[in-house]
């Protein structure tokens, strides 16, 4: 097959991990006889520095003209002044909103080889395999009014958590569809005891649930969910939740796997087009040192192959290669455990490529 993939390396470790994702995609193309055409565009802080905008028009146009987008990370201390007129994160939100990518799929699966890398006890981690399905273009991130006003000492700031019935139902429908292909359980997370938008969420979630009688459904308040996530994480199958709740819960869930450097994500809309990105940030403290873990990006490439290009066997092969690399004891610094073989970013990408197709001769 032929596919056009737009690369948005972004800031910090973004370019380093995206380069390893491209390396793996190129290896997949060579092995399976596909042609992937890559184009690169600017986003985030590096786009602000070059063009003044965190999301130049050309970037959005490039993304719209492609089959899928692979993004690294945005942000960093250089652009984090709270009084700045433009921020790198606006680029990412503009991209999600502009491309209509309302559903963010964040799989959280514990690798047996990495149990020692988590701060949690092994018996709590046994069998953990869930998807956090995060609503991505509504809620607190996009509600209006939003902004600051007034003069010292009477300044104020406001954000709005708003949802429409349509926004909730399309996300919940995807949650139930995903659950049907898995363990058939959906946990809808809200704060319905306090928030009006959550009471709408809960009402609509139950209406959609009635269309899926074969799937079990439960509601959990977000504060309780944050507790159950580390007390009994193996009980969850598909967690569906509001934008900011999903942002927070997915960072927490990454600690089940051992590191943010292991969690991929797919942002999806109506069609097959998708934006794929690791859930981690730009990690400015380790940027440019060649030590960042590229596995979250490589696993995002597997999701890209599966969801946007329909290449399930190729996606399975990438995921199996990551499994094999970890089982063989190779680690980056974030998931290092005693006795492992420590690899840098480029070496880890090379190791995954060597294991693609079942090779067991990685160095």
Just list the catalytic residues: 141, 191, 223, 247, 251
Cβ at position 284, least distance to ligand IPM in Å: 12
C-alpha separations of 179 from 70, 175, 239, 270 in Å:
25, 6, 9, 18
Binding flag, residue 135, Mg ion (CB under 5 A):
no
Q: Of 94 and 344, which has the nearer Cβ to Mg ion?
A: 94
Among 135, 167, 247, 350, binds Mg ion (CB under 5 A): 247
The residues, any chain, with a CB within 8 Å of residue 341's CB and separated by 6 or more, are 328, 329, 330, 331
Instruction: Determine the interface stretch with Mg ion among 47-55, 111-119, 230-238, 242-250 (rule: CB under 5 A).
Output: 242-250
Cβ at position 168, least distance to ligand IPM in Å: 19
Instruction: Determine the interface stretch with Mg ion among 162-170, 183-191, 241-249, 290-298 (rule: CB under 5 A).
Output: 241-249
Q: Of 248 and 342, which has the nearer Cβ to Mg ion?
A: 248
DSSP 8-state code for residue 345: H
Strand 147-149 and strand 156-158: the pairing is antiparallel
Q: How many residues bind ligand IPM (CB under 6 A)?
A: 7
Contact 132, 249 (CB under 8 A): yes
Strand 185-190 and strand 341-342: the pairing is unpaired
**How far, in whole angstroms, is CA 344 from its chain's centroid?**
22
Binding flag, residue 75, ligand IPM (CB under 6 A):
yes
261 binds, among Mg ion, ligand IPM, none (CB under 5 to 8 A by kind): none
The residues, any chain, with a CB within 8 Å of residue 92's CB and separated by 6 or more, are 43, 44, 54, 71, 74
Contact 325, 359 (CB under 8 A): no
252 binds, among Mg ion, ligand IPM, none (CB under 5 to 8 A by kind): none
Q: Of 6 and 347, which has the nearer Cβ to ligand IPM?
A: 6
Q: Of 47 and 260, which has the nearer Cβ to Mg ion?
A: 260
Q: Of 248 and 320, which has the nearer Cβ to Mg ion?
A: 248
Q: Of 25 and 93, which has the nearer Cβ to ligand IPM?
A: 93
C-alpha separations of 354 from 15, 322, 359 in Å:
22, 10, 6
Cβ at position 43, least distance to ligand IPM in Å: 11
Closest CA to 103 of 155, 173, 42, 152: 173
Contact 276, 242 (CB under 8 A): no
C-alpha separations of 120 from 100, 110, 128, 134, 222 in Å:
37, 11, 12, 24, 20
Q: Cα-flanking dihedrals φ and ψ of residue 10, to 5°?
A: 75, -135
For ligand IPM, the nearest residue by Cβ is: 89
Kindly write out the interface string for residues 194-233 of this chain, putting x where it contacts Mg ion by CB under 5 A and - elsewhere. Answer: ----------------------------------------
Cβ at position 251, least distance to Mg ion in Å: 6
Contact 204, 172 (CB under 8 A): yes
Binding flag, residue 242, ligand IPM (CB under 6 A):
no
Q: Of 74 and 131, which has the nearer Cβ to ligand IPM?
A: 74
Among 62, 247, 319, 350, binds ligand IPM (CB under 6 A): 247
Q: Which of residues 269-308 bind ligand IPM (CB under 6 A)?
A: 279, 281
Cβ at position 89, least distance to ligand IPM in Å: 4
Contact 266, 213 (CB under 8 A): no
Kindly write out the interface string for residues 86-115 of this chain, putting x where it contacts Mg ion by CB under 5 A and - elsewhere. Answer: ------------------------------
C-alpha separations of 142 from 138, 221, 250 in Å:
5, 22, 19
The residues, any chain, with a CB within 8 Å of residue 193's CB and separated by 6 or more, are 221
Among 4, 29, 78, 89, binds ligand IPM (CB under 6 A): 89
Give the binding site for ligand IPM (CB under 6 A).
74-75, 89, 92, 247, 279, 281
Give the binding site for Mg ion (CB under 5 A).
247
């Amino acid at each position: 097959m032929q596919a056009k993939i737009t690369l948005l390396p972004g800031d910090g470790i973004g370019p380093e991990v995206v380069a390893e994702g491209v390396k793996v995609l190129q290896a997949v193309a060579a092995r399976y006889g596909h042609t992937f055409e890559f184009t690169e565009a600017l986003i985030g802080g590096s786009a602000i520095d070059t063009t003044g905008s965190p999301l130049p028009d050309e970037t959005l146009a490039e993304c719209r003209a492609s089959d899928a987008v692979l993004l690294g990370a945005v942000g960093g201390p250089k652009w984090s002044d709270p009084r700045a007129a433009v921020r790198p994160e606006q680029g990412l939100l503009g991209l999600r909103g502009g491309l209509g990518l309302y559903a963010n799929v964040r799989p959280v699966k514990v690798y047996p080889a990495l149990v020692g890398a988590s701060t949690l006890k092994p018996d709590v981690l046994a069998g953990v395999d869930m998807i956090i399905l995060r609503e991505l273009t509504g809620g607190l991130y996009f509600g209006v009014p939003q902004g600051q006003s007034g003069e010292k000492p009477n300044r104020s700031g406001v954000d709005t958590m708003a949802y429409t019935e349509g926004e909730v139902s399309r996300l919940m429908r995807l949650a139930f569809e995903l659950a049907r292909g898995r363990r058939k359980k959906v946990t809808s997370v809200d704060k319905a005891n306090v928030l009006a938008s959550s009471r709408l969420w809960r009402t609509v979630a139950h209406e959609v649930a009635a269309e899926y009688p074969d799937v079990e459904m439960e509601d959990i308040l977000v504060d309780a969910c944050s507790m159950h996530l580390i007390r009994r994480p193996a009980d969850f199958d598909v967690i569906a939740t509001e934008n900011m709740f999903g942002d927070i819960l997915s960072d927490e869930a990454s600690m089940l796997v051992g590191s943010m450097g292991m969690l991929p994500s797919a942002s999806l809309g109506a069609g097959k087009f998708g934006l794929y990105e690791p859930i981690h940030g730009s990690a400015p403290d380790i940027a440019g040192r060649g030590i960042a873990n590229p596995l979250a990006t490589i696993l995002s490439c597997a999701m890209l192959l599966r969801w946007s290009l329909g290449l399930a066997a190729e996606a399975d092969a990438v995921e199996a290669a990551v499994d094999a690399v970890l089982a063989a004891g190779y680690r980056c610094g974030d998931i290092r455990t005693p006795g492992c073989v420590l690899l840098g970013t480029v070496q880890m990408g090379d190791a995954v490529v060597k294991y693609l197709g079942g090779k067991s001769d990685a160095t």
